[in-house]
């Protein structure tokens, strides 16, 4: 509770109170390179679909949570912060996840991995991403899609019965899984080089795939 000094005018008090509430609310989300926290009232699952743009923290278009399945719609604005993408400086990887959830050596198939950044990025060339195989050689996935968005997809097709995998191989994501491979990843619409490194924890959170025969 705020005590209003006798000599403080009511108008000044209201101004002071609004400023105080603004400062308190800032802690609920990040607005700088030193604090890039997504809105803290969201669950971990909800945060996956949230990123920063010029208007503030937004939810990805097409999200079921927005009630609009149109992936071409404007993102849903959750927190208005003018110029937020610039204030956060270089884009960072916030999540990596397997799109492919199972793999059968006999059938072969396509390994796909999604990399989420905290803001949209522009891609040139063919960056790569490494999927670790605990028994055989690691797998190199190539950039497939996502230019101009905050989500990049990497893909590798493995033929049926190919020696690249064996039954019981465990596939996972390690630290610093991405590589530019002569390409570039930059914050959308700018010359700012995006950060493509990721912590081991982000890789671990992606989980694993165990190959079946």
- Domains, the chain, ordered by start: 25-87 (no CATH), 93-210 (2.60.40)
Contacts of 31 (CB under 8 A, 6+ apart): 81, 84, 87, 88
pTM for this model (two decimals):
0.84
Beta bridge partners of 128: 142, 179
Centre a 10 Å sphere on the Cβ of residue 18 and count the other Cβ atoms it contains.
10
Q: Are strands 121-124 and 128-133 parallel, antiparallel or unpaired?
A: unpaired
pLDDT-derived band of residue 159, with 50, 70 and 90 as boundaries?
A: very high
The closest alpha carbon to 43, from 59, 21, 32, 31, belongs to: 59
pLDDT in tens, 52-101: 999 999 999 988 888 888 888 899 999 999 999 999 999 999 999 999 99
């Amino acid at each position: 509770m705020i005590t209003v000094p006798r000599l403080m005018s009511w108008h000044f008090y209201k101004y002071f109170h609004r400023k105080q509430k603004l400062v308190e609310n800032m802690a609920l989300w990040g607005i700088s390179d030193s604090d890039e926290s997504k809105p803290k009232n969201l669950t971990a699952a909800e945060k996956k679909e949230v990123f920063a743009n010029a208007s503030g923290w937004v939810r990805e278009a097409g999200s079921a949570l927005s009630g609009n399945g149109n992936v071409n719609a404007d993102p849903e604005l959750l927190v208005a912060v003018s110029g937020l993408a610039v204030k956060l400086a270089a884009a960072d990887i916030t999540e990596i996840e397997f799109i492919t959830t199972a793999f059968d050596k006999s059938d072969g198939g396509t390994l796909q991995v999604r990399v989420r950044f905290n803001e949209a990025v522009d891609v040139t060339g063919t960056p790569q991403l490494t999927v670790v195989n605990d028994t055989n050689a690691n797998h190199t996935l190539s950039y497939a899609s996502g230019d101009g968005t905050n989500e990049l997809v990497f893909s590798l097709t493995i033929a049926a019965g190919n020696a690249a995998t064996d039954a019981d191989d465990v596939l996972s994501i390690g630290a610093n899984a991405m590589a530019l491979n002569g390409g570039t990843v930059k914050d959308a619409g700018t010359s700012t080089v995006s950060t493509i490194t990721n912590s081991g924890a982000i890789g671990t959170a992606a989980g694993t795939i165990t190959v079946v025969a």
